[in-house]
Amino acid sequence: MHTSATLDSTFVALADPTRRAILARLAQGEASVLELAKPFKISQPAISKHLKMLERAGLISRGRDKQRRPCRLEAERLAEANAWLENYRQFWEARFQRLDALLEEMKAESSNPESTT
């Protein structure tokens, strides 16, 4: 179950493009900090700060494999955010369907002027 604080931390973490890129990379499989830092022109300590933010938000976890600390995507928090957003998608989809129906009705009336009295 998502709480306001959980959603807040998820969306704060997702607000940064570097963190979103890190999550996209982790969606392909686990990676070390060095592997995650490679495509960015920022320092490893800066990447570590991003990772800490993602970890605090529950979006990633870090394991221990000998000398390596691989990072893994934790999809549960993303699923919670998606469920929250899904309510709004359904709301807007229903609105658009009603608008489409109205437009079709107006189009039918304009192409058949005899139907109006």
Confidence at residue 116, expressed as pLDDT on a 0 to 100 scale: 53
Q: Where are the domains of the chain?
A: 4-115
The whole model's pTM is what?
0.74
**Two structure tokens written together for 21:** 């890129």
Confidence at residue 2, expressed as pLDDT on a 0 to 100 scale: 54
Q: Among residues 32, 64, 33, which one has the least CA distance to residue 48?
A: 33
Confidence at residue 117, expressed as pLDDT on a 0 to 100 scale: 53
Query: How confident is the model over 13-44, as pLDDT tens digits?
Result: 999 999 999 999 999 999 999 999 999 999 88
The answer to whether the beta carbons of residues 34 and 48 sit under 8 Å apart is: no
Mean pLDDT in consecutive groups of 10 residues from the start of the chain, 117 residues: 80 96 96 92 92 96 83 92 89 90 90 67
- Give the domain 4-115 fold: Arc Repressor Mutant, subunit A (1.10.10)
Instruction: Return d(Cα 57, Cα 47) in angstroms, integer.
Output: 15
Q: What letters, b where the CB count within 10 A reaches 16 and e where it falls short, cover 74-105?
A: beebbebbeeeeeeeeeeeeeeeeeeeeeeee
Confidence at residue 31, expressed as pLDDT on a 0 to 100 scale: 93
